[in-house]
Structure 1
Amino acid sequence: MKRILTIDDVETAIAGGSIFAAGGGGWPDHGRMLGQAAVMTGQPELVSMDEVPDDAIIATAAAIGAPAGTTDWQMLGIDYVRAVELLQDSLGKPIYGLIIGQNGMSSTLNAWLPSAVLGTKVIDAVGDIRAHPTGDMGSIGLAGSPEATIQTAAGGNRSRNAYIELVVRGTTAKVSPILRTASDMSGGFIASCRNPVPASYVRQHAALGGISMALALGKRILAARPKGGRAVIDAICDQTSGAVVGQGKVIRKSVEYTRQAFDVGTIQIGEGKSGRILHVMNEYMAVTDLDGQRVATYPDVITTLNDDGAPISVGHVQEGMELAILRIAKSHIPLSASVSDPSVYPIVEEALGLDLTSYALGRDRTEASHSRE
């Protein structure tokens, strides 16, 4: 499967990616800017892993920062291109293609503009089907590797003289926090290109078909929109085997931006037995009832939808809104090697005060209780 991505694919990618954004994953307007710029500048090409030679070099295109809109960030499309150029210069050879670290409102399109400008392929694979807060969670199993890698970043708020370029070498565990610090210094959002590996490694460790999955979901969403919000939600659930696990009024929102460039906190939807608490670290990482019983846990896809069936990101959730909570269980999505890597969870668990590892690495009561959906 090779195909040139077109202007029609832009809205489809945004619509599908926005569900997998899990409350984060950037902004639709940012994704629209990236996609439109790409298809007007060149011919970004989507390629499946079946067509990629084993020795081809593939890197990850990602945006680093807190996507809830709490900072004065600026990122231009050229920043994604520049990050790839920095990595190619450091490697001393061209990159064959780019995967993305995660799907999202804009991140599904992160590799399109470098493809149009530099000729790198948009690889139909992702570090994680859904959005997540740390680079390690989309690092396709490299988080605990003792091998040194290269990560680059470019971007920043120009009006505040905060534009930064950097090339860092070292283990992923040591380098990833440096890029997150750079993101904070640049204004809260920065483009990166990182972790070049042979295609043979990507084939074994990434979530394959992740871009096509977002495009297929987006196509269903766009087709259902004229029929109303209920039809959109039904289409999402049918396409993904998802289910609504809570709905009601937003009672309380308590989310704060940290110096580590994360948005952390909780959002309560509904009250009483039907009340739900969404646990946020940039994205929705878990859902509990008001007694603390788990309803959903990463790597499940967790998304809030309004009455129109449109996903509402953490940054746009407001008290008094009526929202539904969508869960797509991990058994219904392809999982990358990073999901089963225990080293990626402690930083998130410490921030949230929740155990994620038990569910992500095995089968627990959360999955069992939803197995009949």
Structure 2
Amino acid sequence: MGRILTIKDVEAAVRGGSVFACGGGGWAAHGRELGSMAVTIGRPELVSMDEVPDDAWIATAAAIGAPGGLTDWEMLGMDYVKAVQLVQDALGQPIHGLIIGQNGMSSTLNGWLPSAVLGTKVIDAVGDLRAHPTGDMGSLGLANSPQQMIQSAVGGKRASNSYIELLVRGATAKVSPILRKASDMSGGFIASCRNPVPASYVRSHAALGGISMALALGEAIIAAQGAGGSAVVDAICKQTGGSIIGSGKVVRNTLKYTNEAFDIGVIEVGAGTGKCVIHVMNEHMAVEDAHGKRIASYPDVITTLDTDGNPVSAGNVREGMEILIFHVHKNLIPLSSSVTDPSVYPQVEQALGINLSHYALAATTAAA
């Protein structure tokens, strides 16, 4: 049976989602707002893929943009609902449930409000367990598909007449950049609903159980909080099988917002032999040690934590701040077919100037 999500689950989703946000993935305050509204005005229901008929339509609820605090955006809860309605109307059939493209500070809760208002199920599956910079990276392997898809975007700063409603049809690779441009024009952060597909496709291509993993991690964090920061960090590591691979004072953060709605730059942590460099494109995508050796790389989970164990988004990492670099190897997490789609990497590799695909596309073996 499905699980009715409650106010207690909101905080757990935000806390766990914030770790899987990998330095991006929205805003904690926005997540709390979305979740609180959802469980107040309705009864959002989390269901596993086992409970969904093969022919049911499932779409992806997502927020698009660069939520690093560098832009003036406005997104209301009902923008997520409107985005789903636009796609449902265009599809001409009911959308049974929503998955999310990625976990994050707010994105873990992207499907909750439409569930409360429209009755769509919150599907316990994600396009990517961790957050990532492009929609293609959470598109369940559809990024290079010639198949016509439906995508919508809704949101924007009303006071500056930046509010946009958009519905597009076309191959994912052609229409996804349109939604990202709409995000930039609306103020840098916009709600979307995209790529309705049959449940049978989701079952074989998504990272299953991704929402309940975020909830379980959040519950572990909340349980450890009374014992202090090191207990929280230990709880995060124990729950995920992850570890701290670097720590120290932030030496520099070169993050800049681009008009493609990305935050791009590097974060340098520590000095001497303990130095680490984090490559950022909205999220933390790779870490190199003092010798330039890659020690973590997408789709691994890579998250900056403060000394109290709180995730710090890339845009909030400041020079002089003491941070920890948390890492979970890709072999310890469910991976979607997006991760093994070579077409999703060139745009990100070009923006960062590093290779990601060699590691991401290498066969998954037992973690060392």
TM-score range, shorter chain: over 0.9
The amino acid of 1:103's aligned partner reads: N
Listed one character per residue, the Cα deviations across residues 203-260 of structure 1 (whole Å, up to 9, x for unaligned) are 0000000000000000100000000010011111111000100000000110100111
The residue that corresponds to 1:321 in the other structure is: 321
Distance 1:173 1:7 in 2: 37
Distance 1:93 1:2 in 2: 23
Distance 1:67 1:205 in 2: 27
Distance 1:92 1:363 in 2: 40
How far the C-alpha of 1:291 sits from its partner, in A, is 2.6
Runs of at least 4 residues off by over 4 Å: none
The amino acid of 1:61's aligned partner reads: A
Distance 2:357 2:314 in 1: 23
Q: Which runs of 5+ in 2 are unaligned?
A: none
Listed one character per residue, the Cα deviations across residues 163-185 of structure 1 (whole Å, up to 9, x for unaligned) are 00010000000000000000000
3-state SS of the aligned residue for 1:354? coil
The amino acid of 1:189's aligned partner reads: F
How far the C-alpha of 1:139 sits from its partner, in A, is 0.2
The amino acid of 2:63's aligned partner reads: A
The residue that corresponds to 1:295 in the other structure is: 295
The residue that corresponds to 1:42 in the other structure is: 42
**Is residue 235 of structure 1 aligned with residue 235 of structure 2?**
yes
Distance 1:350 1:339 in 2: 17
The residue that corresponds to 2:220 in the other structure is: 220
Aligned residue pair count? 368
Distance 1:39 1:315 in 2: 29
Distance 1:217 1:120 in 2: 25
**Is residue 88 of structure 1 aligned with residue 91 of structure 2?**
no
The residue that corresponds to 1:15 in the other structure is: 15
The residue that corresponds to 2:71 in the other structure is: 71
**Is residue 334 of structure 1 aligned with residue 331 of structure 2?**
no
The residue that corresponds to 1:247 in the other structure is: 247
Distance 1:333 1:245 in 2: 18
The residue that corresponds to 2:209 in the other structure is: 209
Distance 2:290 2:133 in 1: 24
How far the C-alpha of 1:310 sits from its partner, in A, is 0.5
TM-score, normalization by structure 1: 0.97
1:104-253 matches, within 5 Å, as 104-253=104-253
Distance 2:326 2:152 in 1: 34
How far the C-alpha of 1:286 sits from its partner, in A, is 0.3
3-state SS of the aligned residue for 2:339? helix
Listed one character per residue, the Cα deviations across residues 54-81 of structure 1 (whole Å, up to 9, x for unaligned) are 0000000000000111000000000000
TM-score, normalization by structure 2: 0.99
3-state SS of the aligned residue for 1:142? coil
The amino acid of 1:19's aligned partner reads: V
How far the C-alpha of 1:94 sits from its partner, in A, is 1.1
Distance 1:272 1:348 in 2: 29
Distance 1:92 1:173 in 2: 23
The amino acid of 2:138's aligned partner reads: G
Distance 1:348 1:259 in 2: 15
The residue that corresponds to 2:57 in the other structure is: 57
Distance 1:47 1:66 in 2: 29
How far the C-alpha of 1:363 sits from its partner, in A, is 5.3
How far the C-alpha of 1:289 sits from its partner, in A, is 1.4
The amino acid of 2:166's aligned partner reads: L
Distance 1:309 1:363 in 2: 32
The amino acid of 1:358's aligned partner reads: H
Distance 1:185 1:82 in 2: 18
1:256-335 matches, within 5 Å, as 256-335=256-335
How far the C-alpha of 1:290 sits from its partner, in A, is 2.9
How far the C-alpha of 1:107 sits from its partner, in A, is 0.2
3-state SS of the aligned residue for 1:84? helix
Distance 1:41 1:88 in 2: 21
